[in-house]
Amino acid sequence: MYNRKLAKLLTHSYQILAVILILLAGGLLLLPNYEKHEGIEPESLLANAISPERYISSDELAHKIISGDPSILVIDVRDSERFESYSIPGAINIPLEDILDEENEEYLDQAAYEIVLCSDDNFYADQAWILCNRLGYKNLRVLQGGMQDWFNSVINPPQPDEKMPNSEHELYSFRKSASMFFGVAYEDEVKATPPSPKPSPKPKTVAPVKKKKKKMPEGGC
């Protein structure tokens, strides 16, 4: 008698379990649907975009290029015409409209280089940076002030006058030698340094940026 009751209960318990399973699966259907968004949360994107950490000054960039820092890679987001006319030596060109193309992903989403985005000002470079940041790309910087600032502070530095503090003069002499490194010649320096052949902005031989391994290694068996 007892056994039969138990057996009856047991058969029921399987049915209950089956119902629970179906309910759990059906619960998935009932969940309010929303589109999974691409990239990081809006809140953190806004915080990242407002923080000035991404900026690198022209002087800093010039210093890194002159000292031959191998980890630096400049990406010019202007159109190719502007890029052809002049760009920072060693820069590669990815126009803003192509910044999300798949073939450019290996340049932007990587861990080997510190990428500096630049445009005429930093407006377009910032746009590129914000989009890339949303996708979670790391190691991206923006040249503050863009090519304008590059010109005004590195290529054609304003000469400080006598009254200015010493640090200004030091900065000027650094900038002046930097500008000479980038090909500018000065008449008053002619005797000291014979005009060296202009270091033509040769296209940097970009070693294929090692792509961060995203996929897991061969799983399963």
Q: Which of residues 115-154 bind another protein (CB under 8 A)?
A: 119-124, 126-127, 130-131, 134-135, 146-148, 150-152
Within 33-62, the residues that bind another protein by CB under 8 A are 34-35, 37-39, 41-43, 45-47, 49-50
Return the residue of 3, 31, 102, 103 that touches another protein, per CB under 8 A: 31
Which of these ranges, 66-74, 104-112, 169-177, 179-187, lies near another protein under the rule CB under 8 A? 179-187
Return the residue of 83, 86, 174, 181 that touches another protein, per CB under 8 A: 86
Strand-pair partners of 115: 73, 140
Q: In angstroms, give the least distance from the CB of 85 to another protein.
A: 6
Nearest to 93 by CA among 115, 112, 108, 78: 78
Helix (H, G, I), strand (E, B) or coil at 129: helix
Q: Rule CB under 8 A: is residue 103 a binding residue for another protein? A: no
Residue 23 DSSP symbol: H
CA 109 to mean position of chain CA atoms:
8
Output 113 or 134, the one with its CB closest to another protein. 134
Q: Rule CB under 8 A: is residue 191 a binding residue for another protein? A: yes
Nearby residues of 112 by Cβ (< 8 Å), 6 or more positions away: 71, 209, 210
DSSP code string of 139-188: SEEEETTHHHHIIIIIISPPPP-TTS-HHHHHHHHHHHHHHHHTT---GG
Q: Rule CB under 8 A: is residue 174 a binding residue for another protein? A: no
Q: In angstroms, give the least distance from the CB of 132 to another protein.
A: 9
Q: Rule CB under 8 A: is residue 164 a binding residue for another protein? A: no
